[in-house]
């Protein structure tokens, strides 16, 4: 899945959360949501030093495990506690679930060769493969990153998430507009 797809997945989860909690979404929250949604792909950074053809040697390793999500949640929660003097359940939930959604989405992504995701590493090196919904993203070279195939994959991801985002934004807008205010604008 592309960074755009992971960002849309994170934004969707954030809007579901705010809709269910009847809270107004804040645009400023999109930056941390997008960062947390893409954080497991931090394991692609070594590809910058080792070269793009070796990117798959590093990808979907430790940063694509639930242990990584737990460690990340702990680090972010301690940082929040030091900064604000209290634990924030919402931040803890976001720190765990946004990267976890990334990992789940990668398990639903078709790629060749398909390695799967080692969800339970270091306790098990078994990879988990789920029926693919998303198309593969090629990372073999800088040229591949901007290929027509990757563009198609990204458009596919946008088309999957766009109906959900549109519906959630519609629900949010209707919740934020006071009853009767639509009629007042027409008088």
Rounded Cα distance between 73 and 97, Å, is 9
Mean of the pLDDT values across residues 145-159? Answer: 90
Total domains in the fold of the chain: 1
Whole-number average pLDDT of the chain: 83
Provide the domain limits for residue 48.
Answer: 3-184
For the CA atoms of 12, 18, 24, 30, what is the dihedral angle to 10 degrees? -40
Q: What is the pTM of this model?
A: 0.82
CA nearest 68: which of 13, 129, 108, 118?
118
* pLDDT of 160 above 90: yes
* pLDDT of 186 above 50: no
- How much is the pLDDT for 19? 84
Mean of the pLDDT values across residues 89-112? Answer: 88
**Sign for the pseudo-dihedral over CA of 43, 45, 50, 54:** positive
pLDDT winner (highest mean) among 108-112, 138-142, 144-148: 144-148
CA nearest 44: which of 67, 68, 65, 60?
60
For the CA atoms of 63, 68, 71, 77, what is the dihedral angle to 10 degrees? 80
* pLDDT of 158 above 90: yes
At residue 187 the predicted structure's pLDDT band, cuts being 50, 70 and 90, is: very low
Using one digit for the tens of pLDDT, what is the confidence trace for 14-52? 998 888 888 888 888 999 999 999 999 888 777 666 666
- How much is the pLDDT for 32? 93
- How much is the pLDDT for 183? 47
- How much is the pLDDT for 56? 64
Cβ proximity of 121 and 62 under 8 Å: yes
Query: In this predicted model, which residue has the larger pLDDT, 146 or 59?
Result: 146
- How much is the pLDDT for 99? 95
**Please, what is the angle between helix 148-176 and helix 3-20, to 10°?**
10
The percentage of residues in the chain with a pLDDT greater than 70, rounded to a whole number, is 84
């Amino acid at each position: 899945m592309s960074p755009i797809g992971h960002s849309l997945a994170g934004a969707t989860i954030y809007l579901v959360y705010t809709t269910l909690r009847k809270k107004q979404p804040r645009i400023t929250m999109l930056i941390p949501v997008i960062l947390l949604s893409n954080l497991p792909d931090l394991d692609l950074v070594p590809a910058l030093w080792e070269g793009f053809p070796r990117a798959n040697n590093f990808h979907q390793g430790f940063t694509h495990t639930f242990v990584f999500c737990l460690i990340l949640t702990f680090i972010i929660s301690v940082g929040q506690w030091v900064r604000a003097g209290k634990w924030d359940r919402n931040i803890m939930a976001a720190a765990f679930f946004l990267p976890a959604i990334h990992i789940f989405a990668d398990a639903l992504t078709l790629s060749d060769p398909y390695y799967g995701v080692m969800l339970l590493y270091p306790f098990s090196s078994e990879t988990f493969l789920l029926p693919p919904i998303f198309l593969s993203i090629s990372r073999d070279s800088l040229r591949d990153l901007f290929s027509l195939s990757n563009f198609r994959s990204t458009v596919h991801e946008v088309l999957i998430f766009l109906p959900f985002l549109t519906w959630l934004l519609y629900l949010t807008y209707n919740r934020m507009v006071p009853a009767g205010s639509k009629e007042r604008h027409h008088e």
